[in-house]
């Protein structure tokens, strides 16, 4: 028997309903913020991710799915969303858009060859936003507010924001020199990956999962002490706007994020979930003012974040938060095969008027049909026998209260418009 690849999973039944609900909620939320949807290819030129994500990141150095296509071109399944969205922004000359900033959101599958574990898969789904064209600290705060508000809408408790600043180029250069001076005498204590990072990007050492408990990590210089005045002011303004929006946050100098392109504001949003460990961090992001230019576009400020859907689903399950709604409005039950054609025409009319409707396709008897209705849990039942077909007066049953109504067929749409819209 052929089985799914390691690190992937199938979606069906309740899991499918949960995912579709999250997608619907995310889309509605983005409309409230006036962000536009963008979709980029699932695979792109390998160079895009090496230049965009960074050669020193674990994603590029260890986890990408790289392949040669039939034209002998180096291609990579996208490991994250930002680089592709930036490429699209440049290629389609969105930087010339008169209505800057360009505010995008995306949703789709990403691919990383890593060890599968709870909340981590080799094919996973990611939602994210990217804003191009504004360096206003208010945009940083707005981007942070999106996942915070989303998690609160879902009912997650103890939402907390950890923020830090990596500063601008000048600040990072000063900090890089301080880190080199700090770690150089202790290179023999570092793992092999961190020894390579020391040469290429010492800031990445602070994000190491192997060496994070070493004393030299906790005693390392903090970048917040190396921010120039401009970077300090930007960071203070971000905090001012977060307070204005009543978003609780903590300045955490250990937040550096795992991608090379971040500058200035970086953040992570976590939920207080018992026994969830490191998975408490549900999303992260920050500002990346140099990435558009690094990928061949004009100098353009940008900020964004990404969240993994699988980890979010785990968090909702851990907190016993049920997001499956009763989407089926009406289930139609013909008493026999003689009423089947009439019943299906009725289904068609109801669907074309905006209702979610289902009917029996297995020729069940009436008792089995009521059991099926219990499984589907519709809001209303329409029971159609010979009398209903001849009189065009239909029997409607509220599946919750069990109250029954007799409604003329010509009044059916009006009836459901009133009762279902009222209940919703």
Task: Express each pLDDT in 95-105 by its tens digit.
Answer: 998 889 999 99
Read off the tokens for 270.
């976590």
> Cβ neighbours of residue 384 under 8 Å, at least 6 residues apart?
332, 333, 334, 335, 339, 342, 343, 346, 394, 395
Task: Express each pLDDT in 375-401 by its tens digit.
Answer: 999 999 999 999 999 999 999 999 989
Q: Collapsing DSSP states into helix, strand and coil, what is residue 118?
A: coil
Cα–Cα dist 249/251, whole Å:
7
**Other C-beta atoms within 10 Å of 225: how many?**
10
The structural domains of the chain, ordered by start, are 13-168+228-318 (3.30.930.10), 171-226 (no CATH), 330-423 (3.40.50.800)
Q: Is the predicted pLDDT of residue 258 greater than 60, yes or no?
A: no
Give residue 195's pLDDT: 81
Kindly list the strands in the beta sheet with 74-77, ordered across the sheet, starting from the edge strand earlier in the chain.
Answer: 43-45, 74-77, 65-68
Read off the tokens for 384.
């159609």
Bond into 76 cis (ω within 30): no
Give residue 61's pLDDT: 62
Task: Express each pLDDT in 127-158 by its tens digit.
Answer: 999 999 999 999 999 999 999 999 999 999 88
Task: Express each pLDDT in 175-232 by its tens digit.
Answer: 888 888 888 888 888 888 888 887 777 877 877 778 777 888 888 888 888 899 999 9
Please classify residue 263 by burial: count the beta carbons closer than 10 Å to its beta carbon, then call 0-12 exposed, 13-18 middle and 19+ buried: buried
Long-range (24+ apart) CB contacts under 8 A made by 93-101 are 94/132, 95/132, 95/133, 95/292, 95/297, 95/298, 95/300, 97/133, 100/132, 100/133, 100/134, 101/131, 101/132, 101/133, 101/134, 101/139
Helix, strand, coil percentages, rounded to 5, for the chain: 45, 20, 35
Give residue 253's pLDDT: 85
Task: Express each pLDDT in 268-325 by its tens digit.
Answer: 999 988 777 666 889 999 999 999 999 999 999 999 999 999 999 999 999 999 998 7
Q: Is the predicted pLDDT of residue 115 greater than 90, yes or no?
A: no
């Amino acid at each position: 028997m052929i089985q799914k690849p390691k690190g992937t999973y199938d979606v069906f039944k309740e899991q499918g309903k949960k995912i579709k609900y999250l997608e619907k909620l995310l889309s509605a939320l983005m409309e409230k913020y006036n962000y536009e949807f963008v979709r980029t290819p699932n695979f792109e030129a390998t160079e895009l991710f090496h230049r965009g994500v960074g050669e020193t990141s674990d994603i590029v150095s260890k986890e990408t799915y790289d392949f040669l296509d039939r034209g002998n071109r180096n291609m990579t399944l996208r490991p994250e969303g930002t680089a592709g969205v930036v490429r699209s922004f440049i290629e389609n000359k969105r930087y010339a858009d008169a209505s800057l900033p360009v505010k995008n959101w995306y949703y789709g599958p990403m691919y990383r060859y890593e060890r599968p574990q709870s909340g981590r898969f080799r094919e996973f789904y990611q939602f994210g936003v990217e804003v191009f064209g504004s360096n206003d600290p208010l945009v940083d705060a707005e981007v942070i507010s999106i996942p915070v508000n989303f998690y609160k809408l879902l009912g997650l408790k103890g939402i907390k924001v950890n923020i830090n600043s990596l500063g601008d180029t000048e600040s990072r250069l000063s900090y890089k020199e301080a880190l080199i001076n700090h770690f150089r005498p202790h290179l023999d204590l570092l793992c092999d990956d961190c020894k390579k990072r020391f040469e290429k990007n010492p800031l990445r050492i602070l994000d190491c999962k192997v060496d994070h408990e070493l004393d030299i990590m906790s005693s390392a210089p903090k970048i917040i002490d190396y921010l120039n005045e401009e970077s300090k002011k930007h960071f203070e303004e971000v905090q001012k706007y977060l307070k204005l929006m009543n978003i609780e946050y903590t300045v955490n100098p250990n937040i550096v994020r795992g991608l090379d392109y971040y500058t200035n504001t970086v953040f992570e949003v976590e939920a207080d979930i018992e026994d969830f460990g490191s998975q408490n961090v549900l999303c992260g992001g920050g500002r990346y003012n140099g990435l558009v230019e690094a990928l061949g576009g004009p100098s353009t400020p940008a900020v964004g974040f990404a969240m993994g859907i699988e980890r979010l689903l785990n968090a909702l399950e851990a907190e016993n938060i049920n997001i499956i709604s009763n989407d089926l409005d009406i289930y139609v039950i013909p008493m026999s095969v003689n009423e089947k054609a009439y019943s299906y025409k009725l289904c068609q009319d109801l669907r074309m008027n905006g209702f979610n409707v289902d009917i029996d396709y297995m020729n069940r008897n009436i008792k089995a049909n009521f059991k099926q209705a219990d499984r589907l849990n519709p809001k209303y039942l329409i029971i159609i026998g010979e009398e209903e077909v001849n009189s065009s007066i239909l029997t409607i049953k509220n599946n919750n209260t069990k109250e029954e109504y007799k409604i003329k067929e010509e009044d059916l749409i009006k009836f459901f418009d009133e009762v279902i819209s009222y209940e919703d």
